[in-house]
Structure 1
């Protein structure tokens, strides 16, 4: 059957049959080892090697025969299936590792070297000779098809292989071919979770690429592999693209960087994020001074407002001297009727643990809310309270308070209230803070401290 297998279809059928009926069978394996050692007919050698690769995993006699034949053979058509089979059955075998390494070193045929490196990478993951061979083959290749083929091999051996991941990361920095870059971006997002070199390379690519499709792909890959311990450096590298200038001139890049830094903000506590943004321990390129302003940008404005309750609570907790006041931040972008927000403000107060009223006595307008605050809230609630109104900028339905309502709230004797606005309103008598203020949290804390006296 083996000796008569001349056509490709017949060979495939023979391999499949032996795999089905003889996997691990020592007698069959012994017979095939004898056949491959004795035969000189190329088709027989070819098919027998392939069959052994399917049924003789870990068999030392089969491994030794294939190692010897690889050493002695000069025919590429026979050599390649022997090498491929050895890569399937000789995991961790020292003789096989040595034999494939020797073949890589002595052969000048790039196809044989590639097949040998691929097999070596399987039986000895992370093998330095295999890694170096793939790098050399890629660097020596001159056509896109060859490079794509080698990248496919690299993709198979890259998981857990720091050397190959570093090579792919460096390729992304150096290579200009769009198709190759897109393949590398995909590969890094698939195999490089938590790898610093990959994270740095993708962040740099996002900072520099002008291709909108690549920006989308790179953002997706970076989000997949990003881990909290790498967020500080990622923020430092991307924040220069979160300026108002980039927002105006290159919105796709701004949007990509915004999404990544926002992902970092969700992974970190506010204090860690604040430290990373304003006082990074490392800039992206340590040899280049980071000249990005630490002040207000569109991103920091959005971040400060979206996370306002957490930010204020953390700031109060770490404030010295401590503040004896419960600060309730109310997101007015969720209100259905800003012309009469009394009922919704009351619900926010109730949700924060303030005194409840029965259903028939709820404050339905600003006047009744003022009475509730002056009597129930001031006299019955155990904590001093301050209210801060703001609008979450990520809420598409956000709307502006009318000035008349704000001035009605400003007449409340208790609790003290403030509002955060995108710009100052001269006709508003309520305490105002600007969303664009780079020191927003600090000035809010100063206001709260003044209330203590």
Structure 2
């Protein structure tokens, strides 16, 4: 199948990620497929391609050190790093409305897409290197109620609920976050904890406190949609708690 992929690449000048995924599923840990995916993950200018490459690595690259390192590189890379690496982004330019608008678009695109890429990379990293602490840390950070990237937030929350079952070290990390002064951090951590430990009174109290302060949350977010989503998460977590005997 590698020959067929190479023939298609020579004819079209492109490589189809679906072909690479099929090759990897037929022949797991195929180094040819993994090498191509890592190349796309690190070099593509298309965020959707990078996300797909990260996802497929999680399906076919179990235990592969090069794939693990490539995914670690993604979760360690900050938004600032992405901006600095962008060939079209040049900070501190002289005032020019057109140039400033272009720079703003580049920044907005990175801010919008980076959380999604980080989630795919963290999810795959945990799949191919179970228990990876940097993957868990990245997922916990992505679970917080950020103003943007709600889909990423929801995905991270649900994945952490699965990972935390039978993993006391993950629960311990989340419990430490309950002491944060940031309501987003406290609330998201409590939401995950009560799924695994439904009788955890500290987490329950935090959720109830946040729900009672719903008006302040709506006011502080200065965005009705964001405030509404936060309150929906809190309410859902409380409603799903087991009834007392």
Kindly indicate whether the alpha-carbon contact (under 8 Å) linking 1:93 and 1:123 is maintained by their aligned counterparts in 2.
yes
Kindly indicate whether the alpha-carbon contact (under 8 Å) linking 1:37 and 1:65 is maintained by their aligned counterparts in 2.
no
1:222-251 residue CA offsets vs partner (Å, 9 max, x unmatched): xxxxxxxxxxxxxxxxxxxxxxxxxxxxxx
- Please give the alpha-carbon distance, in whole angstroms, between the structure 1 residues aligned to 2:13 and 2:72: 25
After TM superposition, list the pairs within 5 Å mapping 1:165-314 onto structure 2. 165-170=171-176, 183-185=191-193, 187-189=195-197, 202-205=200-203, 209=208, 217-219=240-242, 256=244
Mark the CA change 1:105 to 1:34 in structure 2 (over 3 Å): closer, same or farther: farther
1:152 Cα deviation after fit: 1.8
1:356-404 residue CA offsets vs partner (Å, 9 max, x unmatched): xxxxxxxxxxxxxxxxxxxxxxxxxxxxxxxxxxxxxxxxxxxxxxxxx
1:135 Cα deviation after fit: 2.6
- Please give the alpha-carbon distance, in whole angstroms, between the structure 1 residues aligned to 2:166 and 2:17: 33
Mark the CA change 1:145 to 1:69 in structure 2 (over 3 Å): closer, same or farther: closer
TM-score (norm 1): 0.33
Q: How many equivalent pairs are there?
A: 182
Task: Give the corresponding residue for 2:160.
Answer: 154
2:33 to 43, 58, 62: 62
TM-score (norm 2): 0.57
Task: Give the corresponding residue for 2:126.
Answer: 121
Mark the CA change 1:172 to 1:146 in structure 2 (over 3 Å): closer, same or farther: farther
Task: Give the corresponding residue for 1:77.
Answer: 48
Mark the CA change 1:50 to 1:81 in structure 2 (over 3 Å): closer, same or farther: farther
1:207 Cα deviation after fit: 6.5
Say whether 1:92 aligns with 2:63: yes
SS of residue paired to 2:16: helix
- Higher-helix-fraction structure: 2
Which has the greater radius of gyration? 1
Mark the CA change 1:64 to 1:215 in structure 2 (over 3 Å): closer, same or farther: closer
1:45 to 16, 32, 41: 16
- Please give the alpha-carbon distance, in whole angstroms, between the structure 2 residues aligned to 1:40 and 1:187: 49
Over the aligned positions, Cα root-mean-square deviation in angstroms equals: 3.8
1:138 Cα deviation after fit: 3.1
Ranked by relative contact order (alpha carbons within 8 Å, sequence separation 6 or more), the top structure is: 2
Unpaired segments of 5 or more residues in structure 2?
80-113, 212-234
Mark the CA change 1:158 to 1:40 in structure 2 (over 3 Å): closer, same or farther: farther
Kindly indicate whether the alpha-carbon contact (under 8 Å) linking 2:140 and 2:156 is maintained by their aligned counterparts in 1.
no
Mark the CA change 1:48 to 1:185 in structure 2 (over 3 Å): closer, same or farther: same
- Please give the alpha-carbon distance, in whole angstroms, between the structure 2 residues aligned to 1:165 and 1:156: 11
SS of residue paired to 1:136: helix
- Higher-strand-fraction structure: 1
